[in-house]
Chain A
């Protein structure tokens, strides 16, 4: 089971919006609506920010939103803030014996 494909890096200025893509296959992203997104600051625990494609856990800013089309899921962060600078990972259920697959990760830089 290969990792889901994400861009290695994205950047944006404060106040702007950015979108991170997460491309899988018909065996994972395309098959299930169980796509999650995580924010990970190095040295800290990953934080769930989106689950089941587009749902936000309680306490997560509505500046974070998720969507999916076919085999590609997307995370959009609007109104970029300095504290958004982190690594972002998607995760999907998969029909393979490796039940959950993560994305390759995207480093977000706030300019």
Chain B
């Protein structure tokens, strides 16, 4: 059974940092490109960023609102995906999903809530 389980969310003050983790199982994590997608309260889905697999260079790309503040990384030995979020703003408050977008089969985690508030 494929599982993507996010962890590390919670409440953080504006300007603070948080690292999300996504534990993957049931599929070949090391071969896949992975993305983070978020959904702010009452809003739609928003792509955050993507990391390629090592064979394709392991490079990252980010959406404009998070570029320079967020960093995606992966540890294939642990089947884990990470999202390091720095200089957090109130508008970063959202449920963050770990997903295999854009690859198929496409899998999504259940999401983890990040709240940025003073």
Contact = CB atoms under 8 A, between A and B. Distances in A.
Q: Is the interface of B mostly helix, strand, loop or mixed?
A: loop
A45 B46 contact: no
Contacts of A98: 47, 63-64
A38 B106 CA distance: 11
A40 B97 CA distance: 12
B41 to A, nearest CB: 11
A98 B109 CA distance: 22
B45 A46 contact: yes
A97 B50 CA distance: 12
B39 to A, nearest CB: 8
B75 interface: no
Interface residues of A, number: 24
24 contacts: A1-B63, A3-B44, A3-B46, A34-B102, A40-B45, A45-B109, A45-B110, A45-B111, A46-B97, A57-B104, A57-B105, A91-B101, A93-B102, A97-B61, A98-B47, A98-B63, A99-B61, A100-B50, A100-B101, A101-B47, A102-B37, A102-B44, A102-B46, A103-B44
Shortest beta-carbon contacts, A-B, top 6: A45-B108, A105-B44, A100-B47, A102-B45, A98-B63, A48-B106
